[in-house]
Amino acid sequence: MHIVEGILSPPVIVVGTLCAAAGVGIGLKKMDTNDVPRVGVLTAAFFVASLVHVSFGVASAHFILNGLLGILLGWAAFPAIFIGLTLQSLFFGFGGISVLGVNTLTMALPAVGCYYIFRPYIQLDVTKKQRAISGGALTGMLAGIFAVAGAAILFSLVLLSGGPEFMTAAGAILVAHLPIMVMEGIATGTILSYLLRVRPEVFNLTAMPEASNA
């Protein structure tokens, strides 16, 4: 989900860049040394998952995994997504350098939203192992859908700032991401359930009495 260069006005690019820079700064400030390997692995997953694109005029749709990054990383999703998008832009020409901030913001902001909305349910579900696994599946599914929906809505709103001529493209983006929301929900729920079963420590949960025996 990338906006290409030459579409947005300079004020929109500046505001998006400043907001993204603030998000990356907060994410880096909240990270510690122990978080670096986890952030690196998830950045790589984001980079690889986003390589398959379906073009829609001035934009494109693809697998995102921003909901997964949000739940596992919180604010650190901002630098992870920023790095992934930077590499995609440099190596494959997806999006562009000038709109990197805007593209980062549209994907990372819903990811952080997932952390605050859905992560607490995972914290509560670790009292029993089986409940944690089933709760992780449902939470992950909802988070995956929410994150993609949020990114698509923000993406469309930013695209509309380019003028009414982009109304059709913005609507097409929303429609195109409906099946991606479902796929992201299934994938995120499956991954979270698996991690709760075999690697609950990646969640940095404060209390895992039974899940820790997995």
55 within some domain: yes
Distance from C-alpha of 159 to C-alpha of 155, rounded to nearest angstrom: 6
* Residue 171 belongs to domain with CATH number: 1.10.1760.20
Q: Domain limits at 176?
A: 10-213
pLDDT in tens, 96-118: 888 999 999 999 999 999 999 99
The count of domains in the chain is 1
3 within some domain: no
50 within some domain: yes
Average pLDDT of the chain to the nearest whole number:
82
5 within some domain: no
pLDDT score recorded for residue 180: 84
4 within some domain: no
1 within some domain: no
20 within some domain: yes
pLDDT score recorded for residue 144: 93
Q: What is the mean pLDDT of residues 163-185?
A: 82
pLDDT in tens, 2-58: 777 778 889 999 999 999 999 999 999 998 888 888 899 999 988 888 776 655 555
30 within some domain: yes
